[in-house]
Amino acid sequence: MEKQLISLLDFSMCGNTHLQQQALNELETFFKNEGFISFLLQFLMNEETPSLYQQITSIILKNKLANQWEEIFASDKKYIIENILDSIISSEYLIKKQLAEAFYSIICHEFPQNMNGFIEKLVEYIQSANVQEVHGSLIAIHKICFRYKFKNYQNRKPLFELIDKTFPFILNFFENILETNSEEEFKPYLILLLSKSFFSSINSAFPQYIFENDNLSRWISVFCKALEISIQLSSSENRNNIEEKILLVWWKCSKKILMIFYYLFQKLPNLSKFKNEKEKKISIEFMEKHTQSILSSILTLLSEWKKEENYPESFDPILRLCLNILNKGMLKSKTFLFLKPHIYDLLLGVILPILNFNEKDENLWENESLEFFMRELDPYGYSLILKSAAKQLFHTILTLRTGDFLQLFMEFCDKIFSDYEKDSNNPIFVIQKETVLSSLQIISKKIKNTQKYSGLIEDLIVFHVFPEFDSIHSFMRGRACSFISEFSNIKWKDINHLYQACDFVFKSLNDSCVSVQISAAIGLKQLLKTINTESIQIKEIIQDLIHKLILLANEFGIDEIISTLQIMVSRFREEIIPHAALLCQNLCDSFANMASFETENEDQKDKISLALFQTLDTISTLIDILRQNPATLQQIQNLLTTFLEQYFNSETPQFIESIIHILRKLTFHSKQIEPKMFQFFESSIMAALSYAEDIIKEIVHLLHIYISRENNLFITLENSKYPDLVFQLCKRVLSLEKLDEYNSIEICKLIESILQNSVGKIDDFIPQFIDLALSALKKEISVPALKVLLFGIVGNCLIYNPRLSLSYLHSLHYENEFFENWFLLVDQKKLKSLHSKKVAFSSLCFIMKSIENPEDWMIRLSSLVLDYCFVLFSQIQSQQDQEIFEAGEEQDFEIDSKNPNFDLGKNNLNEDPDSDVALFNVTFEGFVMNGEESDGDDDIDDNNFFGDLNQDELKDDEDYDNDKFIEVENLNVYDLNDLNQDENVFDGIDNEMENNKNNIININFDNDSDNFIDNQDEKNIEDDEDDDEDDILELFDFNTPINSISEKEVFLDSIRIFVNSNPKFSEICLNNLDQEKQDIWWKLIEN
């Protein structure tokens, strides 16, 4: 068997692909034989097996255990579990690593339930005098600890058992190897495993072992000793006497120990998080006793680092952790008092040298500009960089622990400036000045808010920064740009100095060094926010600025440059308009160039993606400022049509939300939607059907603009392509087994929009919409607003064509059940928004108007319809009266008596289409449900049917802003005009809508002044129910002018038609009403 296995392994390594595959296939068949896995481990541990075959076998075994453990025979599993630890102990280094990974795969499946006695075996090996056995057991303990590293307290019980039984012996071993000189070669590897195991054991949750006896004190003590040994070995005297490989392992030990210290500093001082006295005692002891020993070790390490400058870059993570721990220490009063005597030395001897502009920075500045600015602009993304930790500590010391240190630092800055003036060619003084300027930027907010220093900044800029724009060092010219940007918003004593600073930065855009150009472009962002928009200086060069910023954005894709451009576009609107078309074209080209840029660097990819988003946002801002300039906007639309075509053809889902955002604004602001723009109607729906399910709300908003503003393009009698697409989208969302309720709400709005805007054009879709609504109502719905809207879809179908809709409901034998459930919502006052009540009320009125020669099933239904017309009418009037009262109170409260020009009738419309208020004001302008022009005014601030919703707002229908579907002042619900003259309205389903177009009445629903109605408690609801019936006769006071209550007009006309068309049938319905409603009925007849 061994010879056959070796032969297969030889073939697997040969250069012949065919033979390799054949050998692997044959090897795979062996795995199906019971005992083969056990044989592999035996073959691997056989001392006579050549090293090369051992390595290959260990890799094969590791992969098999990791990927197919469940498929392995039980006997093989048992053998592997019993022998894996011994195999790890007896194997050489490379094999040990592979077997350690195999062991991790085993414990993921089998520990602790199927590994009885394993912990006892580990304890036995830890106490062994054989260092190999100790090393192997520590590897196993580390893997188990790592397995539970991120588990919460409740799921760490197996780990806690391991800790309680093994850690006391591990700690004893740790103390012994630090006190003796034995096993020097293995010592750093053992300490590294111990440190890793301890860190994994305390991560996420502290084990009780830590809080017992003096365990924590002993562990901290041995870690400090280990750190001291590492410091000693790292010194210049000892570094040459130790192998580089061993030194690197010691540095890894130091890094892991510092990670433990940082974690303890982060968790233990928070006394409030510890509940029992034992834990609180340990926390207090840590702060009073152990923090000083830890900080002393760190200060010693930093002192050793200061002695020489030739530490390799691999030592940087250790320094970074030291600075992070010191930063934590600065935040606690007890540790700050200990550190206070060392702070000034830390500032000048550690922090500022780290912040120096070094050779690596200069190389990036000159040759890798993009990489340099990615580090500068995204310090959190580069949190592992040593300079980020130094900046954070510097900021903490001089802003949170100011004391005398700010004054001392400012005096130090003054000395550096003086030295530089004496000898500006000295490279040391140049670097020191650059460091001081960058340090002042770090604490800029503190300086600007400190009266003593804020007034000195202008002089500092004039005398020490302006001269650097002529420096021979490009990094000093770049620093001057960023410094002026940081302090541009100070209170200038001489405004000419600000304009002089702007002039320097503008000129730097054409600097010979690319990095200086980028610094200037980024610095412009804050300057453009500061300077006056009437500045002639900007107006004269705006075109050149735009051109330069676009070039830099194209080349480097830095989002801050795009952001600068966006600020320029939004602040200097009038100046931008003449150059808008060129700017738009440049932005589109810039997007295409950056999108095609390929890189393997993930951070760089993220920055480019952010720049692409910024570019799209800038295009969106540009559309905003052109809304009052239709000619230029038309040019932009032509340019963007090509750009949008290219985007949708590229099938890039990442930016679809921003693209939809642009389309919404473009269709909203344009005078009319061009036919060529309708191609994006289809593209948007296809995106929603394939990859843009999470932005269905935004897509629905866009589709509504198309449907309501250009309904003739949306649908014709000859072409139903677009309605078919919309129906596919609606069906996709509402047919899901488990409804996405928030997407479903948006789809319900979309269906309502189609029904209201496409009168007489979509008869074939009425049954399909009803089916969608009814099937969705049968599913589990947790959001009440969705349930109300689904009933509203059928209600809108009834408004659209009552005879057709009722006939279809009857064909399903569902009309009685549907209306009973709908009326149940009315009785329970679940229709809380005015819109939901008005849809229900209007649909019932239309049913009454359409009844002629009723069949038996309609006779039974009509009594309910008439009764609930009264109920809904009463609810609507009560709610409107309450809202009018509340609006009046609010208006009285807001009147400014001191302002004689205060205009109570003025609506402050938000002109930003993304507010959704203004976005749909225009789309509803002139919108009527019968397709004819409306005489309603444009003042429809409350007409936001597609208002933004969050999850809290969807808990109930009263929170759902659905009162907006129909124009507020004039809600035209394809009614019948001159009803008294034309009694036979519906002669048949086929010619129903044609007659409807010729007989129109405007139903004037009162303005919904408030879309979100406050919740009422149960008691108030019961009181309201009692009051509704009492209010009915008062509402039908015939001395009141009929036009004063628009719903009354609708109701009266509906009843007149019903009575005139069906005198006998009307008597049947009359007998089913209560006495008060009958009194109203007879008054109607008398009138």
Residue 536: per-residue pLDDT: 63
pLDDT surpassing 50 at residue 453: yes
**pLDDT for 965:** 31
pLDDT at 993: 32
d(C-alpha 881, C-alpha 889), whole Å:
12
Higher pLDDT residue, 239 or 319?
319
- Residue 206: pLDDT over 80: yes
Compute the average pLDDT of residues 780-798. Answer: 91
The model's confidence at residue 270, banded by pLDDT at 50, 70 and 90, is confident
Greater pLDDT, 308 or 351: 351
Find tokens 């600073």 and name the residue.
Answer: 501
Q: What is the pLDDT of residue 539?
A: 72
pLDDT: which is higher, 1064 or 929: 1064
> Do residues 330 and 400 make contact, with C-beta atoms less than 8 angstroms apart?
yes
- What is the mean predicted confidence (pLDDT) over 306-335? 89
Confidence grade of residue 906 (pLDDT, cut at 50, 70, 90): very low
The residue whose two tokens read 């009463």 is: 874
Judge whether 498 and 530 are in contact, CB under 8 Å.
yes
Separation of alpha carbons 216 and 211, rounded Å: 7
Q: What is the pLDDT of residue 968?
A: 27
pLDDT bucket at 624, cuts 50 / 70 / 90: confident
Tell me the pLDDT band of 888, cut-offs 50, 70 and 90.
Answer: low
User: Which pLDDT score is estimated for 564?
Assistant: 87
Q: Which is more confidently placed, 372 or 84?
A: 84
| Alpha-carbon separation of residue 256 from 196, 251, 265, 315, 535 (angstroms) | 7, 9, 14, 13, 57
Query: 175-189, 302-316, 826-840, 907-921: lowest mean pLDDT where?
Result: 907-921
Q: What would you report as the CA-atom Rg of the chain, rounded to the nearest whole angstrom?
A: 39
pLDDT exceeds 70 at position 577:
yes
* Whole-number pLDDT of residue 233: 86
Q: Enter the tokens of residue 868.
A: 């609930």
DSSP secondary structure string for all residues of 623-652: HHHTTT-HHHHHHHHHHHHHHHHHHHHHT-
For residues 1010 and 880, is the Cβ–Cβ distance under 8 A? no
Query: How many beta carbons lie within 10 A of that of residue 463, not counting itself?
Result: 11
- What pLDDT score does 1052 carry? 67
- Over residues 480-499, the mean pLDDT reads 93
- Indicate the Cα dihedral angle 911, 917, 922, 927, nearest 10°: -160
pLDDT for res 83: 95
Of 447-451, 631-635, 792-796, 975-979, least confident by mean pLDDT is: 975-979
Q: Is 1009 helix (H, G, I), strand (E, B) or coil?
A: coil
Question: Can you say how many angstroms the Cα of residue 238 is from the centroid of all Cα atoms in its chain?
Answer: 51
For residue 289 the two structure tokens come to 């006793």
pTM confidence score: 0.68
Arithmetic mean of pLDDT, 433-440: 96
Judged against a pLDDT cut of 50, whether residue 891 lies above it is answered with no
For residue 244, how many other CB atoms are within 10 A of its CB?
A: 9
Picking from 61-65, 165-169, 269-273, which range would have the lowest pLDDT averaged per residue?
Answer: 269-273
Residue 1020: Cβ-neighbour burial (10 angstroms; 0-12, 13-18, 19+): exposed
Q: What is the mean pLDDT of residues 784-792?
A: 91
Reported as a pLDDT band with limits 50, 70 and 90, residue 464 is very high
Report the pLDDT averaged over residues 149-156: 91
How far apart CA 1087 and CA 1073 sit, in angstroms, is: 19
pLDDT at residue 990 tops 90: no
pLDDT, mean of residues 157-167: 95
Most confident of 275-279, 519-523, 840-844, 871-875: 519-523
Residue 1004: per-residue pLDDT: 30
The residue among 731 and 851 whose pLDDT is bigger is 731
Least reliable range by pLDDT among 679-683, 707-711, 984-988: 984-988
Q: Which one, of 805, 845, 854, lies nearest residue 1068 by Cα?
A: 854
| pLDDT category of residue 309 using cuts at 50, 70 and 90 | low
Residue 196 has pLDDT above 90, yes or no: yes
Q: What is the pLDDT of residue 865?
A: 76
Under the banding of pLDDT at 50, 70 and 90, the label for residue 398 is: very high
Write the pLDDT tens digit of every residue in 3-21: 888 888 888 887 778 888 8
Token pair of 588 as six digits:
């589109």
Q: What is the pLDDT of residue 744?
A: 92
pLDDT range class, residue 558, cuts 50, 70, 90: confident
pLDDT at 662: 92
Residue 721: pLDDT band with limits 50, 70, 90:
confident
DSSP calls for 90-147: HS-HHHHHHHHHHHHHHHHHHTTTT-TTHHHHHHHHHT-S-HHHHHHHHHHHHHHHHH
Report the percent of the chain where pLDDT is more than 70: 77
pLDDT of residue 111: 94
Predicted confidence band of residue 260 (pLDDT cuts 50, 70, 90): very high
Residue 1000 has pLDDT above 50, yes or no: no
What per-residue confidence (pLDDT) applies to 633? 87
Q: Where are the beta strands (DSSP E) in 945-1005?
A: none
pLDDT (0 to 100) of residue 988:
32
Q: Tens digit of pLDDT for each residue in 91-131?
A: 998 899 999 999 999 999 999 999 999 999 999 999 998 99
pLDDT tens string 399-409: 988 777 899 99
Q: What value does the mean pLDDT take over residues 976-996?
A: 30
pLDDT of residue 849: 77
pLDDT at residue 343 is higher than 90: yes
Residue 1056: its pLDDT value, please? 66
Tokens of 603: 């951070």
3-state secondary structure of 959: helix
Confidence of residue 960 (pLDDT cuts 50, 70, 90): very low
> Is the pLDDT score of 943 beyond 60?
no
Instruction: Give tens-digit pLDDT for 825-840.
Output: 888 888 878 888 888 8
pLDDT value for 693: 85
The secondary structure of 228-252 as a DSSP string is HHHHHHHSHHHHTTS-HHHHHHHHH
**Which pLDDT band, with edges at 50, 70 and 90, does 592 fall under?**
confident
**Listed range (129-143, 251-265, 497-511, 831-845) with the worst mean pLDDT:** 831-845
Q: How confident is the model at residue 879 (pLDDT cuts 50, 70, 90)?
A: confident
SS3 state of residue 801: coil
> Which one, of 262, 259, 393, lies nearest residue 330 by Cα?
393
Q: Is residue 783 pLDDT above 50, yes or no?
A: yes
- 429 and 436 Cβ atoms separated by less than 8 Å: no
Which is more confidently placed, 582 or 1073? Answer: 582
Structure tokens of 665? 């604004």
Residues in the chain: 1087
Taking every pair of Cα atoms in the chain, the longest distance, rounded to a whole number of angstroms, is 117
pLDDT at 933 over 70: no
What's the confidence (pLDDT) of residue 759? 84
Domain boundaries, the chain: 31-113, 787-892+910-1087
pLDDT at 497: 93
Cα-Cα-Cα-Cα torsion 244, 249, 254, 257, nearest 10 degrees, comes to 180
Half-sphere exposure of 53 toward its Cβ, with a 13 Å CA cutoff?
A: 21
Phi, then psi, of 967 in degrees rounded to 5: -55, 130
Reading the block at residue 277, the tokens are 């006295």
